[in-house]
Structure 1
Amino acid sequence: MTQPDQITASTVDRLACGRLINTWLREKHPELAMTIAAKAGGGSWEIPVGNQSVVAVCKRCSPGGFHAWEENVLLRELKGSIRRIDSLELAGIMLDSIEEATPDTRKVALERIERSIEISHDHAAFQSTLEPVSSGERAERSLWFGHPFHPLAKSVAGFVSADFRAYSPERGATFRLCWLLAEPDQVETFVCSPESMARADALLAEVSGLSAALVAGRTIIPCHPWQAQRLRDHPDLRSRLASGKALQLLGPSGEVATPTSSVRTVWFSERGLFVKLPLEARITNFSRVNTAEQLARSIAGARAVAAAEREVRGAGLSILKEPGGRILRCPSPDGGGAQRTCAETGFLLRFADFPNGVDPIVIAGFAEPDPRTARPNLSSIAGRIFDDPQRAHEWVERYAAVVLLPLIRLFATTGICLEAHAQNSLVAFENGWPARLFVRDLEGMAVDRERFRRAHPEIIADLDDTLFYDRDIAWRRFLYYVIVNHFAHVLSAASELSGVDEARLWEAGGRVLEKEAGAARTLIDELLSAPSLPAKANLSSCVAGRGENPDYVMIANPFMAVRSSGSQSRANVKIQLEKARSR
């Protein structure tokens, strides 16, 4: 195992404790989190955990909940004694205090948190030897720490150490794919448009390196090499693969693929092609396979986006096109005529159609801390912009204008809520300034049914019904993914780099939104005046066995909180938080 140097090891331990503290505050003590956020000067805080308390010093308070904490974390025990604890002991104390957990779920969660911390140490050691993040590909491979509010962020259950070295983007891995060849009648296909699918198929054939004579009219299904080993023993595929007639598994071969930040999606940058692959490894909450339902939903989203192309362009953003996907059919286990699909083979194709000279950077990558300095990677992208507090304000205003506003406009005009969280959103920069937003991955897209019906009645009946939600649910997803997960993370990074009070940066972003007129005006007013916003409760949900369908908690809205200058205003926010928690 690679050993990080002392500075990197200290950074990993401090940030691991900070993630646990911030997650605990968000999920269990939102009122205390709000109080901390209001104290711009930081200070020492005592945080209840069961019948004990954790004592920690806050270096930088964040209205979005991304507080920065000092390295030394203390535990005040029931008997009154106080001692220092590390991140793993802190995790164990927290897990023991979650009522929904059972002894078994606590044990599993603690083991996965321990493994996640170990892997983060190894990833950080490797990352500390690399050049600073300054390109899209480098950013995709920089996430040694991961989701700031998910204690299992680097947990990949199913991977052993050799797998991390061979397949992890964080370790700079590249590899060739394996390839299933199946008769066309054994494959279910999902297509956005025949023309775009034909183009994607041609690219896939080229990267596979398989000759037309070898393919012989069969359908090519790409496989991650880790997954391919498991397909050979798949109960529905074993005998078919052994015969080598109706189904054949080849490779690894072809062009070298680069894994992206999601681990299972790979990138052929020279071909402008992403391939979203199935991977049975449990990454954070669940196994990352692609079911037929998920593929159908993604392509329904792609068709909805295609129908709304004028509104997408008018909103001022770019959405990466998903031409189609495929999945292998399997015989029914009872030998009847009906067939099932094999989620371990489902894949989705996505174009990386970035304009010439444009190299957008994934948000999670530029917000990620450099393990050598703990400062966000944005520092190496923005140059000296954040040395000047006034320019830091201007940078946030630019970000709100070219990233946040387009997403709000699209929802307002079409009802399309993109799952534009930090790993799905990429930003193109010009001399360190945000210039254009690109959004990828349409599986998690949610559409306000009535709003989309008004905008595009001609296509709504042809789209997968699982794409549509009532307005309030679609808006809740927007608030979480775009504001709580994405925008709050970016403003935290900007505050960290500039030293500007984060509350002032939220005010700068709010001023940009307030200037917007037209269809987005009502949504903006609702956003800016909402006392609270929804946030996923990842820790509690995983321990309670609801990782795939997590609970939500309500946190104070940073836009509203920075306007709440008096105790009465803060009290009103607390009342709203209590009401939201009781629902």
Structure 2
Amino acid sequence: MHPRDEVPEQADAYAAAPLLTCLLREAADPTGEPGVHRLRASGVLLRVRGGRRPRDPEVRADGAWQPLTHAELVKIIADELRAATGLSNPELPVEMLDSRDAVAAILAARARATPPDDLYLRSEQSLITGHPCHPAPKARGGGPVTSWLPYAPEAYARFPLTLLGVREDVVVEEGDLTALDALGTAPRGYRLLPAHPWQLDLVSGRPDIRAAFEDGRLLRLGESAGPVVPTAAIRTVYAPDDDLFLKFSLEVRITNDIRRLWRHDLLALRRKDAAAVHAFRASRDRASRGGASRGQGPAAWLSDRGYRTADFAFEELAVLVRDGLRPHVLPGATPLLAAALVEGFEGSPLTATADPAPWWEAYLRQVVPPVLEAFEEHGVVLEAHLQNTLVAVAAGGLPVQALFRDAEGLKLLADVSREAGWERLVYCLVVNNLTEVAALLGEHRPGWDPWPAARAELARHPVPEVPGLLASPTLPGKTNLLLRWTGADGADARYLPLPNPLARR
């Protein structure tokens, strides 16, 4: 079969895996027969194969198991959720189909593109499946492929930024923007405002923005000198020549939210980022005095230094400046996106890991302590899920350092209850991060138990909630399928109990 002919079948498989994970987690019960689940509201029987990534879905009909296409699976899920909730949602099935079609376009584009030589960039651009527990992780707002594919990290995109000049009397900014100003030159009386070309295409027809171009509040100044590389977050790009991350608004629903830089988040940014900077500086200072655990590297926070925008399009044209990698990563180490390690990519150190135990123990030593210390000692709740966690590996492939990012998703115990903050920490660190890494490593050695080492690492830290975590029969699992079906705000996380592998059995 020609590779191009395989794309539809591959796209169905990639898109079905997270969809099935959500369905089986949120709306089904195991029957006791291997791989067979009964949907709670409709009673429909489904059978799947595979372990951590379900595949080959079948439905029981007319006394036999019949294979399901992705479109047929979407219909079964929509019928089940309608029966379970009493609500209709015509948008979510469309998103599921759009996600599958986006995967097909990505696969076709990757077949004719060259992946980055740089291993870090390759890891950021490797996520074909994406969020493993979301029903439509690759949906791109339903726009034509030509509108988004040139900016898709999964298609190994690189592109220049559009440089705008915004008149000084309408500029809104906060923080250290020195690196932003170094990207180009604005005329006298203007400030440089980089724009993501996709976002500019989406909003430039708005009357307020069109009027700003017409009356001179906004100028088009050309393009950035060098290309930027979109990361797994899509709207966050990395400028390798400048060692700089830039995060933009994007008027597109990616997973649960329209990905704007919301005004309330921008206004809280400096306060939250300053708390994270302080927490990691204190940790680094303690490590320099010999207070770090054996083998733990100096964890780093990629600071969101500041933002710039225009007052007439505060959210739409905002750009956020984030630290680059070079000042933070240990000499000789290579940073990699944790989500990419879980999904797999060419050059991943895990492909050569015959014994998972040393790698897992090194990963725990780097990732767990900074998250717990920030929470207990500084009241900072890091959003330490797989897409916000970078792990730097030494030449032999073992983790030697963890780096964390995204002040927008960070929470402070000064603003939320300790109980809510702990629940969020457990979901991000344990459910979204550690259980996924452990499941992947378990495929390397069937029967290996990763959880004694995880229990030991967690128990080392004097956090009052840890004993309860290690004794609890359940963990909080986010219900992304029901959240999207019921139209809840993406920030309004809903959780259901999942079996806790940390609990002694």
Q: Same fold (TM over 0.5)?
A: yes
Contact 1:292 1:327 in 2 (8 A): no
Partner deviation per Cα, 1:312-356 (whole Å, 9 max, x = no partner): 3247411011211122112xxxxxxxxxx5210112100113335
1:112 is aligned to 95
Contact 2:15 2:99 in 1 (8 A): no
1:205 is aligned to 181
1:21 is aligned to 20
Closer, same or farther: CA 127–433 of 1 in aligned 2, 3 Å: farther
- The one-letter code matched in structure 1 to 2:275 is A
Partner deviation per Cα, 1:12-44 (whole Å, 9 max, x = no partner): 433433322221122124x64xx98xxxxx933
1:329 is aligned to 311
- The one-letter code matched in structure 2 to 1:86 is T
Deviation at 1:513, TM superposition (A): 2.9
Deviation at 1:440, TM superposition (A): 0.9
Superposition pairs of residues 146-157 of structure 1, within 5 angstroms: 146-157=130-141
Closer, same or farther: CA 291–48 of 1 in aligned 2, 3 Å: closer
1:546 is aligned to 488
- Whether 1:470 and 2:441 are equivalent positions in the alignment is no
Deviation at 1:529, TM superposition (A): 1.4
- Whether 1:223 and 2:195 are equivalent positions in the alignment is yes
1:462 is aligned to none
1:454 is aligned to none
1:529 is aligned to 471
Of residues 144-153 and 121-130 in structure 1, the stretch that sits farther from structure 2 once superposed is: 121-130
Residue from 384, 390, 401 that aligns with 1:426: 390
Contact 2:19 2:136 in 1 (8 A): no
Gaps of at least 5 residues in structure 2 are 287-291, 293-297
Larger Rg, first or second structure (1 or 2) = 1
Of residues 158-167 and 218-227 in structure 1, the stretch that sits farther from structure 2 once superposed is: 158-167
Deviation at 1:224, TM superposition (A): 0.7
Residue from 72, 84, 88 that aligns with 2:71: 88
Contact 1:52 1:75 in 2 (8 A): no
- The one-letter code matched in structure 2 to 1:322 is D
Closer, same or farther: CA 169–422 of 1 in aligned 2, 3 Å: same
**Structure 2 Cα separation of the partners of residues 163 and 506 of structure 1:** 45
Closer, same or farther: CA 133–425 of 1 in aligned 2, 3 Å: farther
Deviation at 1:405, TM superposition (A): 2.6
Partner deviation per Cα, 1:489-513 (whole Å, 9 max, x = no partner): 11121112x13336x1123322333
Superposition pairs of residues 368-387 of structure 1, within 5 angstroms: 368=343, 376-377=344-345, 380-385=348-353, 387=354
Give the secondary structure class of the aligned counterpart of 1:436. strand
Deviation at 1:101, TM superposition (A): 6.0
Contact 1:261 1:423 in 2 (8 A): yes
1:465 is aligned to none
Contact 1:225 1:252 in 2 (8 A): no
**Structure 1 Cα separation of the partners of residues 204 and 39 of structure 2:** 50
**Structure 2 Cα separation of the partners of residues 378 and 282 of structure 1:** 29
1:141 is aligned to 125
**Structure 2 Cα separation of the partners of residues 108 and 287 of structure 1:** 14
Closer, same or farther: CA 19–402 of 1 in aligned 2, 3 Å: same
Give the secondary structure class of the aligned counterpart of 1:236. helix
- The one-letter code matched in structure 2 to 1:428 is A
1:343 is aligned to 315
Give the secondary structure class of the aligned counterpart of 1:180. strand
Deviation at 1:553, TM superposition (A): 1.6
- Whether 1:270 and 2:241 are equivalent positions in the alignment is yes
**Structure 2 Cα separation of the partners of residues 166 and 400 of structure 1:** 37
**Structure 2 Cα separation of the partners of residues 473 and 550 of structure 1:** 10
Residue from 222, 237, 248 that aligns with 1:251: 222
Between the two proteins, what is the percent identity of the paired residues?
A: 27
Deviation at 1:379, TM superposition (A): 7.1
**Structure 2 Cα separation of the partners of residues 115 and 328 of structure 1:** 33
Contact 1:95 1:110 in 2 (8 A): yes
Contact 2:275 2:378 in 1 (8 A): no
Contact 1:58 1:70 in 2 (8 A): yes
Of residues 402-411 and 46-55 in structure 1, the stretch that sits farther from structure 2 once superposed is: 46-55
- The one-letter code matched in structure 2 to 1:170 is E
Give the secondary structure class of the aligned counterpart of 1:276. strand
**Structure 1 Cα separation of the partners of residues 118 and 435 of structure 2:** 22
1:317 is aligned to 299
**Structure 2 Cα separation of the partners of residues 174 and 384 of structure 1:** 29
- Whether 1:499 and 2:445 are equivalent positions in the alignment is yes
Closer, same or farther: CA 435–9 of 1 in aligned 2, 3 Å: farther
**Structure 2 Cα separation of the partners of residues 5 and 274 of structure 1:** 37
- The one-letter code matched in structure 2 to 1:424 is N
Deviation at 1:173, TM superposition (A): 1.2
Of residues 251-260 and 487-496 in structure 1, the stretch that sits farther from structure 2 once superposed is: 251-260
Gaps of at least 5 residues in structure 1 are 37-41, 61-66, 192-196, 331-340, 369-375, 450-467, 565-583
Higher RCO (C-alpha 8 Å, min separation 6): 1
Contact 1:133 1:377 in 2 (8 A): no
Residue from 413, 421, 444 that aligns with 2:409: 444
**Structure 1 Cα separation of the partners of residues 146 and 50 of structure 2:** 38
Give the secondary structure class of the aligned counterpart of 2:227. strand
2:260 is aligned to 289
**Structure 2 Cα separation of the partners of residues 321 and 499 of structure 1:** 38
Deviation at 1:11, TM superposition (A): 4.7
1:189 is aligned to 173
- The one-letter code matched in structure 1 to 2:125 is R
Contact 2:11 2:101 in 1 (8 A): no
Deviation at 1:109, TM superposition (A): 1.2
1:97 is aligned to 80
**Structure 1 Cα separation of the partners of residues 126 and 50 of structure 2:** 25
1:360 is aligned to 335
Q: Which has the higher helix share?
A: 1
**Structure 2 Cα separation of the partners of residues 52 and 555 of structure 1:** 21
Give the secondary structure class of the aligned counterpart of 2:450. helix
Closer, same or farther: CA 247–89 of 1 in aligned 2, 3 Å: same
Aligned-residue RMSD, C-alpha: 2.6
Contact 2:280 2:300 in 1 (8 A): no
Superposition pairs of residues 162-181 of structure 1, within 5 angstroms: 162-181=146-165
Contact 1:321 1:350 in 2 (8 A): yes
